[in-house]
Amino acid sequence: MRKVGFAVGRTSTKWITVRLEDKVLIDDLIIVGNGLLGVVRGVSYANPTMSPYSPFTPTNVEAIKAYEYQNANVELYGSINRGRFDPRILSAIPTGTPAYKVERGDLEELAFIENPIFVGEHPSSKWPLPLDSRAIDYHVAVVGATGSGKSHLVRLLVKELVRTGKRVVVFDHTGVDYSPYFRDQVITDDNIFPDLFSLAEVMANKVLGKDYLDDAEVSLYTYLYSEGDLEKVRNFMESLGFGSGEFDMEAISKLREISPMNINWDDEPFIATLRVVMGYLKRKDHTIAKSLFRLAKSGISLSSFNGRKYDINDLIDHILDEDLTILDISSETLPIRYGIMRGVMSGIMDRAERREDKLNIAIVVDEAQVYAKGQPPTGALSDVARRGRKWGIGLILVSQRWVSDLDINIRANINSVVFSSLQSSSDLDDIGKIVSLGDIDTGILGTGDFYVTGLLSPFRRPILMHTFGEGS
């Protein structure tokens, strides 16, 4: 440690002013006396002889500069006692107490938290910053403008969580930020059979029209039962109570036993199935004909779903058996991606409710703005955000903004925010409504610089961190 000044003015248990004898910079760590640890939030010059209200005009500026001094405003994080950090400060220190700048090696022997994870260091002291892995269960948002280094930070975080024994699943939106770095753990979306409702959404939104979502969904379940055999199609619809038939629960029970992975999906028999189903649903002849033409010309091919390796249940089994799973969801249409994410989220929660032990899993959602507000997976994400911590299920949501990107029910359950340069000045104010920010300046941040705050921070208040290199 190097002495840089002493405490002056009115000291408190939260802030002190240090009269500087040596240079310090914003975000430098300071130890005051024998046991208070804080951070520089601001530096200012003053000269009592150069007051703007003085009626005297200085004639020898160089001589008067001898009276100039610098002050640093230091926010106190907590106290150091017997080699351990305590966020409590119970009494103020006296003025004149010496202040020291923390340098490389000064904090390495101190115990801040148990089983920490490391993804970066404090820039000026080069102190590897210990982050509290328990905070993952209380959900984390990683926020920053494009080019700030979010994906790199999250890759480091993924490696550390796996190292400490947590399962991790990553939804890789673009297929370029995570999949190339963890090639042996990647499952691509063209190997996943989505839930049938998602397929119905694709057909309705892209081909038939949103008013015909029911037709598409019923046709898919009917095909699952019949594999395009028109006699079985009619029997199934009659068993549901359509036409002259009476409702028969046996058909529904049989449907539960059939996996979509175990039947052959073929376009022509499905189109024939759709025609019969729309007839039972009392659609007009010209509507049926128009729908069949559109589907035939759409380019959507159900046969592309043959030969896939995982349905949603298989995928969840894989996720719970492996340390790390990267789901590359970059090639399918958005409704299919939505269905995969919604199915995985809901399935993990269902599994958790049937188990006595915690799942101990972190779910990373890249480009969360696409999924976490007003879209089909939003409800499942909100459910994990509200109840997941009970079973050790934590969310890490990576997005460009805070308020505009995340649903309010998700946002309200996030207890840690890691953020870099922000797209809007109002974002900082909104983050401050969730976690303690103090007096920080995001304008000084470069690529790889992040403020860590909330439960993830060892101080529960903002601390500046620069991420390690890729090979760390």
Q: Which is more confident, 157 or 426?
A: 157
Token digits for 252? 């529904």
H runs (alpha helix) in 204-266: 213-226, 230-239, 249-256
β-pairing, 310-311 vs 140-143, is unpaired
| Residue ranges with strand state E in 225-279 | none
Residues 6 or more apart whose CB falls under 8 angstroms from that of 287 comprise 278
Q: What SS3 class is residue 398?
A: strand
Per-residue pLDDT band for 349 (boundaries 50, 70, 90) equals: very high
Identify the pLDDT of residue 76. 93
Identify the pLDDT of residue 328. 96
Identify the pLDDT of residue 21. 92
pLDDT single digits (tens) 302-332 = 898 898 999 899 999 999 999 999 999 999 8
- What distance in Å separates the CA atoms of residue 135 and residue 161, rounded to the nearest whole number? 11
Specify the residue for token string 């022509």: 268
Give buried/exposed letters for 3-14 (b at 16+ CB in 10 A, else e): ebbbbbeebeee
Identify the pLDDT of residue 261. 86
pLDDT at 388 over 90: yes
Q: Which is more confident, 261 or 101?
A: 101
- Longest pairwise C-alpha distance within the chain: 107
Residue type, 218: V
Per-residue pLDDT band for 56 (boundaries 50, 70, 90) equals: low
Token digits for 91? 């009494």
β-pairing, 416-419 vs 2-8, is unpaired
Considering only CA atoms, which of 10, 5, 3, 1 is closest in space to residue 94? 10
Do 323 and 162 contact (CB within 8 A), yes or no?
yes
Q: How many CB atoms lie within 10 A of CB 321?
A: 9
Residues 6 or more apart whose CB falls under 8 angstroms from that of 205 comprise 335
N-to-C CA span, the chain: 27
pLDDT at 296 over 90: no
Identify the pLDDT of residue 63. 74
pLDDT at 243 over 80: no
Provide the angle, in degrees to the nearest 10, between the axes of the packed helices 230-239 and 249-256.
Answer: 120
Indicate the length of the chain as a whole number: 472
Read off the DSSP letter of residue 402. Answer: S
pLDDT at 424 over 70: no
Identify the pLDDT of residue 119. 95
β-pairing, 310-311 vs 192-193, is parallel
Residues 6 or more apart whose CB falls under 8 angstroms from that of 251 comprise 225, 235, 236, 239, 240
- What distance in Å separates the CA atoms of residue 170 and residue 189, rounded to the nearest whole number? 13
Specify the residue for token string 């290199």: 469
Average pLDDT rounded to a whole number, residues 394-405: 86
pLDDT at 69 over 80: yes
Average pLDDT rounded to a whole number, residues 44-67: 76
Average pLDDT, the chain: 89
Domain residue limits, the chain: 2-111, 131-192+310-467, 196-305
Fold of 131-192+310-467: Rossmann fold (3.40.50)
pTM of the model: 0.87
Phi-psi region of 27 (alpha: psi -120 to 50; beta: other; left: phi over 0): left
Token digits for 42? 């601001």
pLDDT at 459 over 80: yes
pLDDT single digits (tens) 153-191 = 999 999 999 999 999 999 999 999 999 999 999 999 999
- What distance in Å separates the CA atoms of residue 453 and residue 247, rounded to the nearest whole number? 57
- What distance in Å separates the CA atoms of residue 472 and residue 464, rounded to the nearest whole number? 19
Per-residue pLDDT band for 471 (boundaries 50, 70, 90) equals: low
Q: What percent of the chain has pLDDT over 90?
A: 55
Q: Which of the residue ranges 37-41, 88-92, 254-258 has the most confident prediction, judged by mean pLDDT? A: 37-41
Q: Give the dihedral sign, CA 292/297/298/302.
A: positive
Radius of gyration of the chain (CA): 30
Q: How many CB atoms lie within 10 A of CB 162?
A: 17
Q: What SS3 class is residue 91?
A: coil
Q: What SS3 class is residue 90?
A: coil
Do 254 and 225 contact (CB within 8 A), yes or no?
yes
The alpha carbon torsion through 425, 430, 436, 437 (nearest 10 deg) reads: 0
